[in-house]
A and B are shown apart, each in its own frame.
Chain A
């Protein structure tokens, strides 16, 4: 600091002699105070694909906005927090962000983390716009939590109904769920079950595990397969799903497999190989969309990250855009939440995103099936 001041003195001295005046003048301009936005998600570890993809979507939105000169001339500063899918860690990180007095928080990526931190942000009255949190437990609450997508009830029910109609032979089902994120997985399976169970269709058992690098997936799968089900429903992340599906297929190559949206990332196909062929994967996004805004987004994303954007990237991108829109309209005493609710409808990458009065968005579910290493939209 001292050096800096002497440096300035020197500069002033140079100025006073009229030398290089313009050169130094430029450096002494003051900048506008930046707008701070925090991002929280699982950015490291073996199942970080959701978090890093979401982070990339967020990053792209911020970089694009900053390239346009920020918000009303104020640059946007971002603070990334890696919750590593650990609730206590997430709570500490949210505290950090609140201490930093960020203007808004984007994230987290999973329902478990959202449930762990929602009280903190409600208490602090700080807007948290989640990207992909779909637990029913946060549905229609007048709180500081918002999300651009519908809850599990909507999504899982559609999947259940679809299987019930399209796979009439799949009458005996088992579910395997990661209860590390039970706010999501159990919700989802429950939603699925209600739509699926009709007639003789029945979800016989729900097997649980907690995802770690030491989880014996093969053994979990083998146990689940013991009752010889027609349908296996998986609610877990993509990496775990591939390991699980491999084992299921080795046991029974013909069993119908349906996974929750969580696993519907690019990694599922990458790591799954031929084992994931023909499994059903519901998607929050329409991968077959030919909407210009979606194609342009895909192109920009690919240019930036050399990979295709999955749903986490897209939802984080849209969530960030929504928050930026709100921040750009902010003036006076209105809170960001009030502004967003008063705006209501936003331009999304795949069409307009409408927030209800509780700040929950509404999204569709697109059922896809993996065929020849690609997600093919069925419905």
Chain B
């Protein structure tokens, strides 16, 4: 199972609260950036636009009034032409008394000034200007080319020495020109600048600056036609644009005055405009801080409450785990936490109840186990008793088997001895008879040489027979004696294995003689054992008898091969191998068990191999194993220590 990485509740709550706090702020920021600030900018634009248009209209009105003044003068003079006679000084009076014009002059068709009205303090300079040829000036060219009255561009007036604009209208055989100094304009925009905290700039039709709150700049004929704002406005656009002028960063809007094609720019310091945007940013920043701090506090408070609830629940669970079911439930105002706590209490109680039941069940079980154990103990005792009885029975059987073996041994011995002794008896009686006959003949002197020679041949033959049979008897007895002595005495001694086998096989001779089975032995003559020869005799006897009895079908020929070899200096291996019918694995597992027999009731006691096993393992301290298969013959392998 993979465990997911986990974080403290405080971290999770804080971060999620932060996200919740920040997302709306981001949205508001975006809205501000894309809606509010453009709106602020637009309202600035509108404000500036309104201002510039109002200034434009003020200036236009001013110029219109001046123009209409001049027209009134012209129409008046048309009726009374002599009024313009230089000596009457009407133009001087008019120039001095009205508000607009700094000079009013008449020219002839060639552009020569024929009469000029000056304000009283400059009238002494009249001769400077009378007869001046203004035909090359734009003012004059404008009116003569169009034949229309109208305002000139701004120019530096030779008459007043000031930047001026002239209203020119055809008059009789010449023109009537009124010059207005634009020096008043800087004052106007200065006032506006103070009132509205804006920079107002007026540009003439060539886009030269003619009015600026800084009066000095108003006189320098600075050409601003390269400003983006000016160019775009001239292209017919109405917009608010940032620009730099006189080392000031400004944002402004421009309006064009119809008729004279002047331009009014109303501009604000860029940083002032941005200050409003900054206010919006400030609010946003404040909102972010408030959001973050309140989210943090809220998260902390909540986290504290949650952590308290959860910690208590965890402790409660741990108490329950450690077996204390009575831990008191915490009190929380959070319903779910309260529920958790209550449920933990219920859980504790439920576990307690169940635990009691289990304890009860356990004690029941223990009691039952004890009862059962008692039963088992009793049956075990019974079994032990039975086993003892059985062992006794087995002992008895073994004893009786031994007796039976002794019986059959005695019978075998008797049977064996019977032949040579009988033969000897019969021979001796024949010899006796022969002797008697000879004696009779001799006594009767009937003894012939031939009969004596016959007698001598008979005696010789008879004694030879006697000797042979008695020899045989003697051998037998020796063997029996040896067997008997070994079996009975159970004495440990050194003996030659081959010789011992020979002796034991001699005792079995009568049995083997009757059987179609042959026993071949291949035993190294040099093998000497220091062991119990009696036990080994019994083992050989039992194994050969067992093979004779079980390995072969009665009529068939068979061979039992006995081989013995040294395995090492400590051990010798003796193998009894027959080529009989063999036995099943199942049978192999039981053959050394007592009373196991396949020929029950046919003379087998079922103890033969058991005795063999006992003798091999208990007396000779060796091992016996069986290797056999159905139809493959049987191999009994004995590994015996050379010396015990």
Q: Interface on A for B, CB 8 Å cutoff?
A: 3-4, 6-7, 9-10, 13-14, 17, 19-20, 43-46, 48-49, 52, 55-56, 59, 63, 77, 79-80, 82, 213-214, 216-219, 239, 242-243, 246-247, 250, 269-275, 304-306, 373
Known: A55-B220, A247-B127. A273 touches B134 (CB 8 A): yes
B418 sits at the interface (CB 8 A): no
Chain A residues in 8 Å Cβ range of B277: 7
- Report B-chain residues with C-beta under 8 Å of the C-beta of A246: 131-133
Could you tell me if B128 and A271 are in contact, using CB atoms closer than 8 angstroms?
Answer: no
Chain B neighbourhood of A13, CB < 8 A: 285, 288
Query: What residues of A have a CB within 8 angstroms of the CB of B138 in the complex?
Result: 270
**Complex contact A20–B33 (CB within 8 A):** yes
Residues of chain B within 8 A of A9, CB atoms compared: 285
Q: How far is the CA of A243 from the CA of B133 in the complex (A)?
A: 10
Q: Which of B26, B112, B206 contacts A19 (CB 8 A)?
A: B26
Which are the 3 A-B pairs with shortest beta-carbon distances? A273-B133, A46-B161, A44-B219
A247: B residues at CB distance < 8 A: 127-128
CB proximity of A236 to chain B, nearest CB, Å: 13
8 new A-B contacts, CB < 8 A, other than A19-B26, A243-B132, A274-B110, are A3-B279, A7-B278, A44-B219, A52-B221, A77-B247, A213-B160, A239-B156, A305-B225
Task: List the A residue with the shortest CB-CB distance to B216.
Answer: A82
Say yes or no: B133 contacts A6, CB within 8 Å: no
**A10:B133 contact, CB within 8 angstroms:** no
Give the chain B neighbours of A56 by CB distance below 8 A: 223
In the bound complex, what is the Cα–Cα distance between A200 and B63 (angstroms)?
Answer: 58
Instruction: Choose from B158, B216, B226 the contact partner of A271 (Cβ within 8 Å).
Output: B158
**Can you list 16 A-B contacts (CB < 8 A)?**
A6-B278, A6-B282, A9-B285, A10-B285, A43-B220, A43-B221, A46-B156, A52-B221, A63-B226, A218-B128, A239-B156, A239-B158, A242-B132, A269-B136, A271-B136, A305-B223
Compute how far the CA of A43 lies from the CA of B131 in the bound complex, rounded to whole angstroms.
28
Q: Does A10 lie within 8 Å of B284, measured CB to CB?
A: yes
Task: Give the docked Cα–Cα distance between A246 and B159 (Å).
Answer: 14
Closest to B155 in A: A270
- Please give, as numbers and ranges, the residues of chain A lying within 8 Å of B278 by CB-CB distance: 3-4, 6-7
CB of A26 to closest CB in B, whole Å:
15
* Residues of chain B from 597 to 622 with CB closer than 8 A to chain A in the complex: none
Q: Using Cβ atoms and an 8 Å threshold, which residues of chain A touch B160?
A: 46, 213
Instruction: Please pick, from B26, B136, B219, B282, the residue contacting A48 in the complex, using a CB distance under 8 A.
Output: B219
CA distance A148 to B414 in the complex (A): 171
- The answer for the CA separation of A304 and B225 in the assembled complex, in Å, is 7
CB pair A214–B125 under 8 Å, yes or no, is yes
CA of A210 to CA of B584, assembled, Å:
157
CB distance from B156 to the nearest CB of A (A): 6
In angstroms, how far is the closest chain A Cβ from the Cβ of B179? 13
CB-nearest residue of chain B to A9: B285
- A-B contact count, CB below 8 Å? 121
Task: Give the shortest distance, in Å, between A46 (CB) and chain B (any CB).
Answer: 3
The answer to whether A216 touches B125 (Cβ under 8 A) is yes
Q: State whether B223 touches A304 (Cβ < 8 A).
A: yes
Contact partners of B7 in chain A: CB under 8 A: none
Chain A residues, CB < 8 A from B124: 216
CB proximity to A under 8 Å, residues B104-156: 110-112, 122, 124-125, 127-129, 131-138, 156
For A46, the chain B residues whose CB sits under 8 A away are 156-158, 160-162
Given known contacts A44-B220, A243-B128, A273 and B111 CB-to-CB distance under 8 angstroms: yes
- CB of A43 within 8 A of CB of B135, answer no
Using a CB-CB cutoff of 8 Å, which residues 254-299 of chain B contact chain A?
A: 271, 274-275, 277-279, 281-282, 284-285, 288
Which of A48, A272, A304 is in CB contact (< 8 Å) with B221?
A48
Report the bound CA distance from A79 to B275 in whole Å: 27
User: Which one of A10, A17, A243, A304 contacts B158 once the chains associate, using CB atoms below 8 Å?
Assistant: A243
The answer to whether A219 and B127 touch across the interface, beta carbons within 8 angstroms, is yes
Q: Given A10-B285, A44-B220, A46-B158, check contact A270 B136 (CB 8 Å).
A: yes
Q: A102 CB to closest chain B CB, in angstroms?
A: 13
Q: A10-B281, A216-B124, A242-B158 are in contact. Are A272 and B133 (CB under 8 A)?
A: yes
Tell me, rounded to whole Å, the shortest Cβ–Cβ distance linking A215 to chain B: 8
Closest to A239 in B: B158
Within 8 A of A (CB), among B1-53: 22, 26, 29-30, 33
**Smallest Cβ-Cβ distance to B221: which chain A residue:** A52
Please give the distance in Å from A309's CB to the nearest CB on chain B. Answer: 13
B residues in contact with A77, CB < 8 Å: 247
Q: Note all chain A residues with C-beta closer than 8 A to B223.
A: 56, 59, 304-306
Q: Are B275 and A3 in contact (CB under 8 A)?
A: yes
Complex Cα gap A21–B201 (Å): 37
B133 to chain A minimum Cβ distance, whole angstroms, is 2
**A43–B132 CA distance with the chains assembled, in angstroms:** 25
Separation of A359 and B210 alpha carbons in the complex (Å): 37
Interface residue from A6, A213, A304 paired with B226 (Cβ < 8 Å): A304
**Known contacts A7-B278, A217-B128: does B136 contact A272 (CB below 8 Å)?**
yes
Residue of A nearest to B160 (CB): A213
Q: B22 contacts which chain A residues (CB < 8 A)?
A: 17
Contact A275 B285 (CB under 8 A): no
Instruction: Point out the residues of chain B lying under 8 angstroms from A269, CB to CB.
Output: 136
| CB < 8 Å neighbour of A275 from B133, B222, B279 | B133
Nearest chain-B residue to A271 (Cβ)?
B158
Q: A370 to B537, alpha carbons, bound, how many Å?
A: 171
Q: Is the CB of B220 within 8 A of A274?
A: no
In Å, the complex CA distance between A7 and B221 comes to 38
| With A213-B160, A304-B226: A44-B216 Cβ-Cβ less than 8 Å | yes
Most buried by B among A59, A239, A271, A373: A271
Minimal Cβ-Cβ distance residue in B for A41? B220
Does B220 contact A273, Cβ atoms closer than 8 Å? no
Whole-angstrom CA separation of A305 from B275 in the bound complex: 36
Chain A residues with CB under 8 Å of B156's CB are 46, 48-49, 239
* Contact for A273 among B135, B216, B221, B288, CB less than 8 A: B135
- Taking CB atoms, residues of chain A closer than 8 Å to B125 are 214, 216
Enumerate chain A residues within 8 angstroms of B135, measured Cβ to Cβ: 273-274
Distance of A250 Cα from B129 Cα, bound (Å): 12
User: Are B133 and A270 touching (Cβ within 8 A)?
Assistant: no
**Residues of B212-230 contacting chain A, CB below 8 A:** 216, 219-223, 225-226
Name the CB-closest residue of B to A217. B128
Chain A proximity of B288: nearest CB distance (Å): 6
Complex interface: chain B residues within 8 A of A48 (CB)? 156, 219-221
Alpha-carbon distance between A77 and B162 when the two chains are bound, in angstroms:
29
Closest-by-CB residue of A relative to B132 is: A246
In the assembled complex, the Cα of A45 lies from the Cα of B215 at a distance in Å of: 12
Q: How far is the CA of A3 from the CA of B285 in the complex (A)?
A: 12
Q: Are A45 and B161 in contact (CB under 8 A)?
A: yes
Residues of A contacting B206 in the complex (Cβ-Cβ under 8 angstroms): 305-306
| Beta-carbon contacts under 8 Å, B500-518 to A | none
Residue of A nearest to B33 (CB): A20
The smallest beta-carbon distance between A345 and chain B, in angstroms, is 31
Q: State the Cβ distance, B199 to closest chain A Cβ, in Å.
A: 17
Closest to A250 in B: B131
Residues of chain A within 8 A of B134, CB atoms compared = 271, 273
A100 to B161, CA, bound (A): 32
Interface residues of B in 59-111 (CB under 8 A from A): 110-111
Assess the A17–B220 pair: CB atoms within 8 A: no
Q: Return chain B residues, CB-CB under 8 Å to A304.
A: 223, 225-226
**Cβ of A162 to closest chain B Cβ, rounded Å:** 25
Question: Which residues of the partner chain B approach A14 to less than 8 Å between Cβ atoms?
Answer: 29
- Please indicate the chain B residues that have their CB under 8 angstroms from the CB of A43 in the complex: 219-221
Q: Which of A213, A214, A274 contacts B133 (CB 8 A)?
A: A274
Residue of B nearest to A277 (CB): B133
Query: Of A20, A80, A213, which contacts B220 at CB under 8 A?
Result: A80
How far, in Å, is B638 (CB) from chain A's closest CB? 95
Report the minimal beta-carbon distance from A167 to chain B, rounded to whole angstroms. 23
Tell me the nearest residue of chain B to A48, going by C-beta.
B156
Residues of A close to B225: CB separation below 8 A: 304-306
**Could you tell me the distance between the alpha carbons of A214 and B126 in the complex, rounded to whole angstroms?**
11
Min CB distance B247 to A, Å, is: 7
